[in-house]
């Protein structure tokens, strides 16, 4: 099917990476090719393909590459080139290793996905890379950038408490200093926020979450805005031997086709649950940028086109044990650390992760926080489940 630039992004996303017609016919879905070895007619053909690949052409010489999925991700994010990795964390690590080396300095927002700190502590420090965590809401990014700063790394909204960053302001500062900006865009699924259009250079997602959408795939994705970054990240991607299986590429591409309609339902359900939580006397605060009284609501309304299914809330006058009892009492919410699938999940936020955020240090008052992923169940049933858990565990 031919693409028309005038088509809406939802339409283009449905058709991006479609299988080509051969002899006038072809499948709707891209066929899955399971192979580790590519055969060639002769030595000259192999040499020619190696030469073309070394000059940036996206063709296979060994193993398989999820080219159709890469094309669809570029359509989703408005990027130049996409790279696939075995997990969201491996996608993050790919970017860090591609852009940072001994003696380099990077600025990282303090509300990022917690495993990035583990990459810092166990790998980057050993390589002589300095990571400095900062609060975009409190610190002056312009004053923090040094001559050796090689990357600004952000996440918006931030993990657990969903702080919304002023992305255009931050990217303007970084670009003026010639420093690339990477952002973890998993919360929006790449659908509700297009950070490359707001000045970021790299968008990273755990495709495990909303892209795949069914809790059956582990995968990461990196989308870049320029040939120069594509070359740098591509070189490291190949050197690390990063690859994904053909079946995982197929499942992620299948999930991507329904991303807009799934996220719209997640938002409807999450908004209903968040509004209910706001009315509960046991809840000190509800964290969801789509709520009008959320501190990040104005920025969210300006930069985002919607909100996903993640909602957190702080319990009033309780401790971690009370939060655990509440989560254990839930019937429809599974207990799990991931999110983005069709099912609802609940998790007590680890205090050490909350305390890493300066905003929480100033306003948290040691209240335990529970993070919910609101799935595709009937929101009335989810609210009833939360109500009975409150009644049985929280006075």
Catalytic annotation present for 64: yes
Active-site entry in 64, 117, 262, 371: 64
As a whole number of angstroms, the distance between CA 150 and CA 118 comes to 20
Active-site entry in 104, 113, 117, 210: 113
Work out whether strand 283-287 and strand 310-315 pair parallel, antiparallel, or are unpaired. Answer: antiparallel
Tokens at 103, concatenated: 């003696």
> Within 13 A of 376's CA, how many CA atoms are on the CB side?
13
The secondary structure of 30-66, three-state, reads CCCCCCCCCCCCCHHHHHHHHHHHHCCCCCCCCCCCC
Active-site entry in 81, 110, 133, 209: 209
Nearest to 186 by CA among 66, 355, 309, 351: 309
As a whole number of angstroms, the distance between CA 395 and CA 391 comes to 7
Catalytic annotation present for 71: no
Catalytic annotation present for 184: yes
Beta strands in the chain (DSSP E): 81-85, 105-109, 130-134, 149-155, 181-184, 202-206, 220-224, 283-287, 310-315, 334-335, 345-348, 369-373
Active-site entry in 120, 184, 294, 385: 184
Catalytic annotation present for 325: no
* Helix, strand, coil tally for the chain in percent (to 5): 40, 15, 45
- Would you please indicate which residues are annotated as catalytic (active-site) residues? 64, 113, 184, 209
């Amino acid at each position: 099917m031919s693409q028309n630039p005038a088509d809406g992004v939802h339409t283009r996303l449905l058709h991006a990476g479609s299988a080509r017609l051969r002899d006038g016919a072809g499948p709707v879905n891209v066929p899955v090719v399971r192979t580790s070895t590519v055969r060639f007619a002769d030595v000259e053909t192999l040499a020619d393909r190696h030469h073309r690949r070394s000059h940036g052409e996206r063709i296979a010489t060994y193993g398989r590459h999820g080219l159709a999925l890469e094309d669809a991700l570029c359509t989703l994010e408005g990027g130049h080139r996409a790279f696939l990795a075995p997990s969201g964390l491996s996608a993050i690590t790919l970017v860090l290793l591609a852009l940072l080396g001994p003696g380099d300095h990077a600025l990282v927002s303090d509300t990022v996905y917690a495993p990035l700190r583990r990459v810092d502590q166990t790998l980057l420090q050993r390589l002589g890379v300095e990571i400095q965590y900062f609060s975009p809401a409190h610190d002056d990014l312009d004053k923090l950038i040094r001559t050796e700063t090689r990357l600004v790394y952000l996440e918006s909204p931030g993990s657990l408490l969903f702080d919304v960053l002023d992305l255009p302001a931050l990217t303007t500062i970084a670009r003026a200093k010639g420093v690339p900006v990477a952002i973890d865009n998993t919360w929006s699924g790449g659908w509700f926020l297009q950070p490359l259009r707001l000045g970021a250079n790299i968008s990273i997602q755990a495709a495990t979450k909303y892209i795949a959408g069914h809790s059956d795939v582990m995968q990461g994705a990196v989308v870049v805005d320029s040939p120069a970054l594509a070359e740098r990240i591509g070189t490291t991607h190949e050197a690390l031997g990063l690859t994904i299986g053909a079946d995982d590429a197929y499942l992620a591409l299948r999930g991507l086709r329904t991303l807009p309609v799934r996220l719209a339902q997640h938002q409807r359900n999450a908004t209903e649950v968040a509004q209910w939580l706001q009315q509960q006397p046991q809840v000190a605060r509800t964290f969801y940028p789509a709520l009008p009284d959320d501190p990040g609501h104005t920025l969210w309304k300006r930069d985002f086109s919607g909100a996903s299914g993640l909602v957190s809330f702080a319990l009033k006058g309780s401790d971690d044990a009370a939060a655990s009892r509440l989560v254990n009492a839930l019937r429809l919410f599974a207990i799990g650390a991931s999110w983005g699938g069709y099912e609802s999940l609940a998790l007590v936020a680890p205090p050490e992760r909350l305390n890493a955020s300066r905003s929480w240090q100033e306003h948290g008052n040691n209240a335990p926080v529970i993070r919910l992923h609101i799935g595709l169940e009937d929101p009335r049933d989810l609210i009833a489940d939360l109500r009975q858990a409150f009644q049985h565990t929280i006075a």
